[in-house]
Amino acid sequence: MNFLSPISLFLFGLAIPIIALYILKLRRRREPVSTLMFWEELFRERQTTSLFQRLKHLLSLLLQLLFLALLVLAIARPQFAFITKSARQLVLIIDQSASMNTIEEEGEGLTRLASAKESALRTVDGLRFMDEMTVISSHTQPVIHIPFTNHQKSLREAINAIQPTDISTNLEPAYDLADAIAETKPNPEIVIFSDFQSISEALLAKLNSKTEADEAPEIKRRLIQIGEAKDNVGITQFRVRKSLVNAFDYQTLLRVVNASETERKFNVELYFDENLFDVRPYNLAPGESKSEIFSNFAFEGGKLKAVLDVQDALPTDNTAYATLPKRDLIPVLLVTAGNPFLQKALAVDEQIKLTVLTSTEYETDVLPVSGNSQEKQPYQVVIFDRYSPPTLGDGNYMFIYPPAASSETGNPELKWNIGGALETPIITDWERTHPILQHVHLENVQIGTAYQVTPPSTAQVLARSFESPVLFIDVTPNRKIVFAAINILESDLPLRIAFPVIIANTIQWFQQRSEIQEHHLRTGEVLKQRIESVDATIQPELETETDSPPDTPKLAKITGPGDKTWEIPIERDELLFDQTQRAGFYELKISEAVDATTEDAPAPAASELTEEDSGTVWSVNLADETESHIGPDPAVEDLLEASVTPGGTAILRYPPWVYLVFLAVGLSVVEWFLYQRRRID
């Protein structure tokens, strides 16, 4: 036994005054009585056991000395070796994945996570003196909520602070972290609270393994299963992509799985901006999954939501979210000296926002911006009709019979060579399967004027005559070019049906490779948003119209499920947001922040929004079929302890000095009682 404060043992010297005071005779009150004969007789009876009287007298002194000894020992704070050696270091892993939201008791609405937290709190209650505990929560990534401590209040607060998530299960990183922590401790113990509905083979192997190194402490492992197998159906996929057949349309994939032991019939309700627009009946056999694709939406730019009209144990996967992008008009610039056929062909397409400029206007107004490859192209497609710009930025360009002189200016970006003129060439071959020439017949097209052209080595010829390529494309990482070597004003091509088809196909081809900006994440994934793209996507006109200085600090305000909001100051050109634990819509708004301390307002608010934009909506889904199977993994059954709840009562829950103080107080009560009853003098 050691003492943390051995100097306190000098307090045993207080026994001296106690004994001295005890030796001193008690000052008794004088009380006259008329006769002593009754008192004499009374105490003659009582004094028959004089030895006992002396012992009683001594007992009082012994009780007081024992009281002093207990207090002094308590102040000296004794430490016992057997307590120190038996002290445990517990690492609690609490699974907070989506399946832990399963409601186990429907009446009380108690989820598996709540049950796990209750079990963990009981473990805290069972902590002994000198035991330490750390708490790790886990979904796909582990989070240490509190380092090793024996402060039970802090441990309880840490456990209670664990919130449910809609993230998939992956206990292995948490276990690896716990294992690494435990290896440094003398008497470690890892306790995992989980439903174990999904456990990897690697983790199973680790749980089955024994500590090989003799010098390393053996890590005790306890697996506490929470919950039991229950029926469930869930949405495992709900995602929007661009249509493969129509560049201006979207497709939505919906996948539903029945993870129950019985057949389930239910409806899937589809909402757009919270308005029901479709209901699909589903009838799934046990274990069956069904996928369905929706397209040809009559609406655009909003929130899609799929809801399973079913009551099951896990509500989390009964709802899925997606964002349907807005079909923005394609800004197209036509630089021409006048081409009514081309203008009409472009104007007929509703998806196109056409701007027509002359070459002079183009060089004056647009070229200073678009010619710089570092600047973002304001037009998605630029068509040069019998014109060749002196410089060429990144983007999509269509050259129609550009003048041969353009090659002589030495523009290195134009890598084709224009040769001599061709008289009435005949198109002999064309790529019928290429998107640009789909549904197009170029037989017998009368071409008045064309020229020979030598395409760059990276080009793909789509149509050729006997003499030379007539139509080719050149695709580089930053630039897509369609080159037509014919003067359409001197051909009958504009009069054919093929002409508007080619133009439409070309515009579509330009757009096809440009993926839609998918605002879709799985729960737990990091939301990454480039700030420039946000501005360009949301309000492209603000780029040129804003009067704010370029270095004005910006603020991202994100509104998540349940109207939970985050305000994140943007310090770089990319926003990273990792609080996507819950499934739902996350609306991101970028605004300029004004430091309130510079204003007259006395309140020192950190920032406030000055102007709000329309925002970008991200959809976050669980989208994990494994998580929808909420029954325990059979592989883990051998490792499970049959519902053994750790904790409960613990001996030596408090340090020894507490018990000594309690003993001293109890002793003083006994002494007081004995004195009051005159059992002792």
Partner 1 sequence: MMNDTQSAFDSEFLKKLEYLYIVSKKIFAGRIKAERRSTRRGVSVEFADYRNYTPGDDFRYIDWNAFARLDELLLKLYEEREDLHIYFLVDASQSMTYGGELPKLIYAKRVAAALAYIGLSNLDRISITSFNNTGVNRLPTERGKGKIFTVLDFLDQINGTGETDLENAFHNFVHTTKRRGLVVLISDLFDPSGFTQGLNVLKFQKHELFVIHIIDQKEAAPDLLGDYHLVDVETDELRQVTINENHLKRYQALFQQYCDDMDLYCTQREISLVRTTTESPFEELILRIFRMGGFVS
Residues that bind partner 1 (CB under 8 A): 26, 28-43, 45-46, 677-678, 681
Shortest Å distance, C-beta 672 to partner 1: 14
Instruction: Enumerate the β-bridge partners of residue 222.
Output: 191
Q: How far apart are CA 49 and CA 125, in angstroms?
A: 51
- The nearer residue to partner 1, 26 or 642, going by C-beta atoms, is 26
Shortest Å distance, C-beta 674 to partner 1: 11
Structure tokens at 491: 């051909």
Q: Write b or e for each residue in 144-167: b if 16 or more Cβ atoms lie within 10 A of its Cβ, otherwise e.
A: bbbebebeeebbbebbeebebbbb
- The nearer residue to partner 1, 38 or 299, going by C-beta atoms, is 38
- The nearer residue to partner 1, 36 or 516, going by C-beta atoms, is 36
| Integer-rounded Cα radius of gyration of the chain | 41
- Report the DSSP pairing between strands 417-423 and 469-476: unpaired
Q: How far apart are CA 543 and CA 369, in angstroms?
A: 12
Shortest Å distance, C-beta 31 to partner 1: 5
- The nearer residue to partner 1, 29 or 572, going by C-beta atoms, is 29
Q: Give the dihedral sign, CA 542/546/549/552.
A: negative
What interhelical angle do 172-182 and 201-208 show, nearest 10? 30
- The nearer residue to partner 1, 210 or 678, going by C-beta atoms, is 678
CA dist list (Å): 374 to 371, 392, 394: 9, 12, 8
- The nearer residue to partner 1, 46 or 326, going by C-beta atoms, is 46
Shortest Å distance, C-beta 21 to partner 1: 15
- Report the DSSP pairing between strands 459-465 and 469-476: antiparallel
- The nearer residue to partner 1, 25 or 210, going by C-beta atoms, is 25
Looking at residue 516, its amino acid is I
Shortest Å distance, C-beta 42 to partner 1: 5
How many other β-carbons are positioned within 10 Å of the β-carbon of residue 573? 10
- The nearer residue to partner 1, 166 or 671, going by C-beta atoms, is 671
What is the torsion angle, in degrees rounded to the nearest 10, for the CA atoms of residue 197, residue 202, residue 203 and residue 209? 140
Shortest Å distance, C-beta 14 to partner 1: 24
Q: How far apart are CA 142 and CA 523, in angstroms?
A: 15
Shortest Å distance, C-beta 43 to partner 1: 6
Beta strands in 45-102 (DSSP E): 78-79, 89-95
Shortest Å distance, C-beta 94 to partner 1: 60
- Report the DSSP pairing between strands 110-111 and 103-105: antiparallel
CA dist list (Å): 455 to 18, 450, 458, 480: 113, 14, 8, 14
- The nearer residue to partner 1, 56 or 77, going by C-beta atoms, is 56
Residue 30's Cβ-count burial label (10 Å; 0-12, 13-18, 19+) is exposed
Q: How far apart are CA 633 and CA 77, in angstroms?
A: 49
Shortest Å distance, C-beta 18 to partner 1: 18
Q: How far apart are CA 15 and CA 10, in angstroms?
A: 10
Q: Write b or e for each residue in 361-392: b if 16 or more Cβ atoms lie within 10 A of its Cβ, otherwise e.
A: ebbeebbeebbeeeebbbbbbbbbbbbbbebb
- The nearer residue to partner 1, 42 or 337, going by C-beta atoms, is 42
- The nearer residue to partner 1, 50 or 444, going by C-beta atoms, is 50
Q: Phi first, then psi: what are they for 448, rounded to 5°?
A: -80, -55
Shortest Å distance, C-beta 28 to partner 1: 4
Q: Phi first, then psi: what are they for 620, rounded to 5°?
A: -125, 125
- The nearer residue to partner 1, 277 or 673, going by C-beta atoms, is 673
Shortest Å distance, C-beta 130 to partner 1: 46
Shortest Å distance, C-beta 19 to partner 1: 19
Contact between 288 and 258 under an 8 Å Cβ cutoff? The reply is yes
- The nearer residue to partner 1, 43 or 466, going by C-beta atoms, is 43
Instruction: Enumerate the β-bridge partners of residue 307.
Output: 269, 319
Shortest Å distance, C-beta 49 to partner 1: 15
